[in-house]
Amino acid sequence: MKCDRGSRAAALSITAHALPWLLLAATLLACSPDRNAETHKGGSEAHAAAREKAPDFEHKDLDGALVKLSALRGRTVVIDFWATWCPPCVFQPPELNAFLERHADPGQIAVLGVEVGGASVDDIRTWARENNAIAHYPILTGADEDLARRFGAMGFPALVVVAPDGTIDSVHVGLTTAAELEDLVAHLLAGGTRSS
């Protein structure tokens, strides 16, 4: 096949224009240190854990108050594991804020953001301001990726839904929208559990 300079230039131009979109698509999927990590998202693809008990943890929020997972027993808890070094993580706080706006009763739902990249309180606040990603829920510091992995999160952002009985209901790696999250917790808010 014959290829002249004009054809090569056109092909390079198309590639140059498509590259940013391809990078954005790859970035939105999730930041994962393990390329073989499973991605669980939405609806029928949601990963229903084997109803194992959620590992308990206690970390300080941005104001220095201790937050303990087991103290939230009786509520459906959504945990967002994220890191400031993860580009798609900036998209999750606005979705979680929208989700929280629909659930005014704090006795049913709790949302926690858990930063696992070792960022300081000041780094987190700066990151949130600069990325328009200010959370309307507690952001916990001092955790690491090992905690996220204990919940089954193998990439970031990762949302873990913990049932009111303290068991892991599902794990979702990558951006999860407020609408998808509504679907994921509907059975828990109705008093049920997801079948394995």
User: Model confidence over 28-61: pLDDT tens digits?
Assistant: 445 644 433 333 433 323 434 357 999 999 999 9
pLDDT at position 194? 53
Say if domain 43-189 classifies as CATH 3.40.30.10. yes
pTM: 0.76
pLDDT at position 134? 96
**Res. 185: pLDDT tops 80:** yes
Beta-strand ranges (E) seen in the chain are 47-48, 58-61, 66-68, 76-82, 109-115, 139-141, 158-162, 168-173
Q: pLDDT tens digit string along 73-93?
A: 999 999 999 999 999 999 999
